[in-house]
Homo-oligomer: A and B are copies of this chain.
């Protein structure tokens, strides 16, 4: 199965994802392709697939990416065939994809379960964003407006998880995964006799 997780900056998404991966050893985190240079401890195929701009653009032309984006001068993208190759190995995929990426994926009819992590309120989001660093008023406003724009995309998601309590939010995402394991599409492969009843 494919679980897409999005959420505005500061909402606790990374903590939730790390814990979900720990609890579900049959899940892997999606590895993106990027044109940026590897940093000292980054491993090709684990942190990212590091490719040249030329290779990345070839993949774009072949419609390889379920979503891609330019961030500063670098390109980042998620390969659908990589996801499918992991699924063939029996793995489930957790995709940490932002709102713009989900828009692209859904535009391409990429099937999956789409989860949106929300702050308990706008005020709480402002607090969490403010904690993040010493920056000027203008940068802060910009980040807040970005977060608000992202929140407006809630309608794209199958599930909304409010992170007012991190343990509760993790349990909610876990329930969504556990339910998904019982979905007809996931189960039918595990009940071969059901299709053979005479």
Contact = CB atoms under 8 A, between A and B. Distances in A.
Interface of A: 115, 118, 121-122, 148, 151-152, 154-155, 157-162, 171-172, 175-176, 178-180, 182-184, 187-188, 191, 193-194, 197-198
16 contacts: A118-B194, A121-B193, A122-B197, A148-B197, A148-B198, A151-B194, A154-B188, A154-B194, A158-B183, A159-B182, A160-B184, A160-B188, A161-B182, A162-B187, A175-B182, A179-B179
A180 B155 CA distance: 16
A182 B152 CA distance: 17
Contacts of A152: 197
Contacts of A191: 118, 160, 162
A27 to B, nearest CB: 16
The dominant DSSP class at the A interface is helix
A172 B162 contact: no
Contact of A160 (B151, B157, B187, B197): B187
Most B CB within 10 A of own CB, among A161, A183, A184 = A184
Given A151-B197, A154-B188, A154-B194, 4 more contacts: A151-B194, A159-B183, A159-B184, A160-B187
